[in-house]
Amino acid sequence: MSEDKLQGASASQTYKRLFAFTRKYLLAFVVAIFANLVYAVIDGVFIEAMAPLIDEGLFKKDSSFLIIAPVFVITLVAVRSIASFVSGYLMGWVGQNVVADLRQKVFAKYMQLPASYFDTHVSGDMVSKLTFNAEKVAITATNAITVIVRESGFLIYVLISMLMKSVFLTLLYLISLPLIAIVVRAATVRFKDASSSMQDAMGDITNISSEAISGYRTVKVHNGQQQISSIFNGAVRQFRNKFMKLVATKNASSPLVQFFAATGLSVVLYFSLSEVQSGKLTAGTFTAMVFFMMAILRPLKQLTSINSQIQSGLIAAKSLFDVLDLENEKDEGTKMLENFKGYIRLKNVSLQFPSRSEKAIDNFSFTCQPGQIIAIVGSSGSGKSTLLNVMMSLYQPSSGTIYYDDIPLKEISLTSLRENIALVSQHVTLFNDSIKNNLTFGLTREVDDNEIINALEKAHALEFVNRLPLGVDTRVGDGQSTLSGGQRQRLAIARAILRDSPLLFLDEATSALDSESEEKIQAGLEEVMVNKTTFVVAHRLSTIRHADIIIVMDEGRLIEQGSHDELISKQGAYARLYELQFGKKNN
C-alpha cells in the first residue's frame, strides 16, 4: 500500500474517532449543521432572486413584485441571522465539549501509563498535547466544520441552480475543476507536513521554557541566561519557519484556486453573450448566472484556506489518539492486600531496561520480617531507588518474584498494594493547593483538623506552618510559596504520617534538612516507624545506624547485609563507605 493511501486511511480513522466524540452531543451537532445549511441556502436564494427582480420588477415593471421584495429581503436576513447565531453557538458548544472530553481522557490516560513512559517522554511534549494540540482540535471542531458545511452547502446550491438555468454554461465553467483539484491536493499534503512539524516545534518550545523557568536557579547561578535564551530563540525560530511554510501554502493555494475559477468565468462570459442574443437566457437569468459564478469564488477560497486548519486539527487529534491507544500500566492482580502484616520477600528479582545493556537490579533476593527497618545504602547509581520503584510496582521485574505476606506481587491489585504504602521521596511534589489538601492527597477517609495538626507536629512542621498567613489553608506548590526544601520535605513526611500505611518507603527523606532539623525529623520518624515495615534509602549513614538490617548495593546487586555493627566488623563495602563519611575505622 502506498504512503498516500496509508495517510488517507489514517486520516479517515481519525475523522471517525473524532466524530465518535460528538455522539454525546449529537442533537446539538445536527441542529448546528441544519442551521449552517439554512444559512448557506439563504445566501444562494439572495442571488437566485436577482433573476425575477430584474425580469419582473425592472423590465416588466411589476409594482406588486417591487412591494414584496423589501419584505422578502428583511425576512431572509432575519432568518439568516438566527441561523448564524444558532449554528455558531451550538457548534462552539459541541467543539468545546469534545475538546474537554478529549483533554480529560488524555490526562486520565497519562495517569494510567507506566513509569517507563514518563522516563522516555519529556513533560513539555506531554503538556503541549493537552494544550496546543487540543486547541487545534477545538478549531477543527468549530471553525473548520462551520466553514465546510456553510460553503459546501452554498456551493452545491449554486451549482444546482446554475445547471437548472443553463447546463451548457455550467459545464463550461466547470472546466477549471481538474486544475483546482490538483492545487487542493498538493496543498493538503503540504499542510499535513507543516502541521506535524509545527506541533513538534511547539513541544520543544514548551519543554525548553518549562525547564528554564523551573530551573531558574541553575540558569542564574551558572550565568546561563544567554545560552538558554539562545536555545529557546532557536526553537521559536524553528516554529516560526514551520508556520510560515503553512502560511505560504495557504496564501498561494487560495489565489491559484480563484484564478482557475476566474478562468472558467471568463470562458462562460464569452459564450453567454450568444445565449442572451438568441433569447435562451433572459437578462435576469444571465445576471444571476454571472453572480453565481462570481459567488463561487468565495467558497472555493474558504474551503481551500480552511484545509490548513483541517489538516492541522487532524494531526493534533491523531497525536491525542496515539496517547489514548497506549497500553496502561499493567494491573493484572485481583487479590486484595488486606490486613497487611509487613512480611516481604524478594526472590531472584532482576530488572533490565530496554535501553540499557546492564541490569538495573540483578538477581536480588531478600527477606524482611514485619515491623523491621531496612536501610539500603550504596554509591550513586547502585539501584537503591530503582529497587523501591520495583517494590512499589512502578517497574515490572524482568524476572523473579516479590511476595507481600506470601502473595506474589503480580497477583495483587495495584490499588490495594499502594493503599498500604506511604512514600517520602527526595523530590517532593506539592500540588498547587492548600497545605491541608496536599497532606490529605489520595486519602479516601475523612480527616479532621486534629489529625492534620498532629501529623504536622510529629514532622516538626507545625511551627513554620503556623507562621504562614493562612496556616494549613496556605497555598503551596511551584511558584505559590517560598517554602525551603527542608520545609517542603517535612510536609511530605507529615503526609506520610497522616497516611498511616503499614509499609513506609523513605527515599532520602531527610536529604534536604539541616542537622538540627534532621535530628527532630528522625525522632518523629522513629515514632512513625513503630509497627511499620520501613525501607530507608540514605546516603547519610548516621541516619540508619539503628536499622534492623542494612543492605549494601552495588550495580544492582546485593553485596552485603546485616546490622551496623556486623557490617563494620566485616570491614567490607559498608565499612569503607562509613570510613569515607566519618574518617575512622571504628564505630
In the predicted model, residues of the chain with pLDDT beneath 70 are 1-11, 51-52, 54-63, 65-66, 176-177, 179-196, 199, 213-218, 220-223, 250, 254, 257-258, 261, 272-281, 283, 304-305, 477-482, 511-524, 527, 583-587
Domain limits at 314? 15-324
Q: Which of 36, 44, 8, 254 is nearest to 145 (CA)?
A: 36
Asked if 321 and 105 touch (Cβ cutoff 8 Å), the reply is: no
Residue 100 domain flag: yes
540's grid cell: 547519610
List the CATH number of the domain containing 455: 3.40.50.300
Same domain for 320 and 428, yes or no, is: no
Distance CA 284, CA 52 (A): 6
Asked if 308 and 191 touch (Cβ cutoff 8 Å), the reply is: yes
The pLDDT value recorded for residue 552 is 94
Same domain for 445 and 307, yes or no, is: no
Residue 143 domain flag: yes
Distance CA 520, CA 269 (A): 93
Residue 190 domain flag: yes
Sign of CA dihedral 433, 438, 442, 443: negative
The pLDDT value recorded for residue 6 is 36
Report the run of H or E that residue 557 belongs to, with start and end: strand 557-562
The pLDDT value recorded for residue 582 is 77
The pTM assigned to this predicted structure is: 0.76
Domain boundary among 289, 305, 324: 324
Domain boundary among 448, 483, 500: 500
> What is the count of structural domains for the chain?
2
Distance CA 234, CA 240 (A): 10
The pLDDT value recorded for residue 290 is 74
Q: Which of 41, 146, 38 is nearest to 83 (CA)?
A: 38
List the CATH number of the domain containing 309: 1.20.1560.10
Same domain for 445 and 319, yes or no, is: no
Distance CA 147, CA 87 (A): 11
265's grid cell: 468565468
Residue 573 domain flag: no
The pLDDT value recorded for residue 57 is 60
Output the CA angle 174-175-176, nearest 5 degrees.
85
132's grid cell: 496546543
Residue 214 domain flag: yes
Domain boundary among 472, 500, 528: 500
423's grid cell: 512514600
The pLDDT value recorded for residue 204 is 79
Q: Which amino acid is at 544?
A: I
Distance CA 92, CA 277 (A): 50
Asked if 456 and 462 touch (Cβ cutoff 8 Å), the reply is: yes
Order of strands across the sheet with 344-351? 361-368, 344-351, 399-404, 407-408
The pLDDT value recorded for residue 274 is 65
The pLDDT value recorded for residue 361 is 93
The pLDDT value recorded for residue 5 is 39
Same domain for 127 and 247, yes or no, is: yes
